[in-house]
Structure 1
Amino acid sequence: MTRTSLNRLAAACLIGLTAPLTVVLATLATAGESQAAGPTAEELGRRVQQFYDSTKTFKASFTQTYTIKVQDVKKVSTGKVTFEKPGKMSWIYDAPNGNRVVSDGVTIKVYEKDNEQMFETPVKGSQYPAALAFLMGKGQLTKDFSLRLLDPAQMKFEGGYVLEGTPKEATPAYQKMLLYVDGQTNQVRRVLILDAQGNRNRFDFSSPVVNQPVGKTEFDFTPPPGTRVVRP
């Protein structure tokens, strides 16, 4: 027991000599909880938002693990990702995957190498990837999601917090997202997106770099000749 806790216990006993023992114990327990308590879900959401609000660009390596529940199939891909405000992103998948996801802030292009096709969608009408909008300077965690903290030990995550977000406005794209937040920097080290079918789309970020210049062509992409382009 710390010196501060002992002093508070002594003060409680002197002030309330006639009070029941349960009151004194409750006073001590409350003091201990206040010392050990971490941020609330809303506070952590604000911290994460503030970090990404202060960044103009974000670059990292990523590992994507996509699990299809009904088929019990797991697909693992790696690559590089770049975000730039407002609304720009670039996902470059390593070989042999070769996929590409690009947004110039107006249009999102999703290129599938194996299928030789590319989907083009206006940013305003797209849900991809809605759960990562805050990384692109879009949306607000505390306004767009109902937040709660999960036990990081049960989630097998060390050195930070696990924040669950449920969108306040229902979307067919996903049901929940989990943010694995570094306790020192408030950076998101992992994002897990869960949909209604039980599929899991997980992104692990490593070697993050913020506020470095991005090449002018990073958010431009022209698919190979013969690619079928699908527009809404």
Structure 2
Amino acid sequence: MSETASLLLVMLLLQAGPAPGPGSNPSSVIQAVEQKYAGLKSLSASFSQSYQNAEQRLEESGTLVLKKPGRMYWEYHKPTTKHFLVDGKKSIFYVPEDKQAIVSEIDLDDASVPLLLLFGRTGIEQNFQVSWETEEAPRSAENALVRLTPREPQGEFTHVLLEVTPSALVHRLTVFDPIGSRNDYVFSDIRENANVPDRSFNLKLPKDVELIKE
């Protein structure tokens, strides 16, 4: 799964509503996710990312900000500086040491399920089957772990795990791809409706950066 697609998918599911209690079901958790996201104007958080396949394990970390309508910015700090920006019309993935930036236009009439969700164009349960996860346990026994399986085959991922804490936040989100790799995102220091100025989404590229349009 490409890093761009993975980051877009993660942002759709970052927030959760009230933590599941006795008698709750995975569908109610997802409904709370959508209600929570609909009520947000902005968000900031720290994240750590772990990518693992049969041959290697990679660790990264950074910060992210989100602001409606349709803007988000992931800034990786360790081990390599990277930038991923969505401004509502296009996405930019920039790695300074490569001196390259990948620019992709966003077309909501021909967008992937993740982008449609990001822009509030459809519901999660319309596109995913929702169930409790049974193959692995949550990292904390007090958390709930929900599996999202796409109703229509997706070439870049097979399913997603969403771990929700009792404090109504998403602690972990894991994306699995068809070749058996997994991408774990762990979130901390989440601030809902944080003060996120518009200038946070101004990514200035040096003149010597090669632009690759997709």
TM-score tier, shorter chain, comes to 0.7 to 0.9
Runs of at least 5 residues in structure 2 that lack an aligned partner in the other structure = 1-20
Runs of at least 5 residues in structure 1 that lack an aligned partner in the other structure = 1-35
Separation in 1 of the partners of 2:71 and 2:133? 30
The 3-state SS of whatever aligns with 1:218 is: helix
Q: Please name the residue that 1:46 is paired with.
A: 31
Contact kept? 2:42, 2:66, Cα under 8 Å: yes
The 3-state SS of whatever aligns with 2:125 is: helix
Which residue of the other structure, out of 105, 109, 114, is the alignment partner of 2:92?
109
**Does 2:173 correspond to 1:191?**
yes
Q: Please name the residue that 1:64 is paired with.
A: 49
Contact kept? 1:64, 1:204, Cα under 8 Å: yes
Separation in 2 of the partners of 1:64 and 1:136? 24
* Higher RCO (CA-CA < 8 Å; seq separation 6+): 2
Separation in 1 of the partners of 2:63 and 2:152? 30
The 3-state SS of whatever aligns with 1:38 is: coil
Deviation at residue 53 of structure 1 after TM alignment:
1.4
Deviation at residue 138 of structure 1 after TM alignment:
5.6
Q: Does the C-alpha gap of structure 1 residues 126 and 75 become closer, same or farther in structure 2, counting only changes over 3 Å? A: farther
1:90-129 equivalent positions in 2, closer than 5 A: 90-124=73-107
Contact kept? 1:89, 1:136, Cα under 8 Å: no
Which residue of the other structure, out of 102, 127, 134, is the alignment partner of 1:144?
127
Deviation at residue 177 of structure 1 after TM alignment:
0.7
Q: Please name the residue that 1:85 is paired with.
A: 68
Q: Please name the residue that 1:224 is paired with.
A: 206
Deviation at residue 197 of structure 1 after TM alignment:
1.0
Contact kept? 2:159, 2:176, Cα under 8 Å: yes
The 3-state SS of whatever aligns with 2:28 is: helix
Deviation at residue 55 of structure 1 after TM alignment:
1.0
The 3-state SS of whatever aligns with 1:101 is: strand
Separation in 2 of the partners of 1:104 and 1:170? 28
Separation in 2 of the partners of 1:202 and 1:137? 24
The percent identity for this pair of structures is: 23
**Does 2:151 correspond to 1:176?**
no
Who wins on radius of gyration, i.e. which is larger? 1
Please give the root-mean-square deviation of Cα atoms over the aligned residues, in Å: 2.4
Separation in 2 of the partners of 1:157 and 1:55? 26
Please, what TM-score do these two structures have when normalized by structure 1?
A: 0.74
Q: Please name the residue that 1:206 is paired with.
A: 188
Q: Please name the residue that 1:30 is paired with.
A: none
Q: Does the C-alpha gap of structure 1 residues 88 and 112 become closer, same or farther in structure 2, counting only changes over 3 Å? A: same
Separation in 1 of the partners of 2:29 and 2:111? 27
The 3-state SS of whatever aligns with 1:114 is: helix
Contact kept? 1:86, 1:138, Cα under 8 Å: no
Separation in 2 of the partners of 1:144 and 1:66? 25
Contact kept? 2:60, 2:79, Cα under 8 Å: no
Cα-to-partner distance string for 1:190-215 (whole Å, 9 max, x where unaligned): 11011101111111100100112211
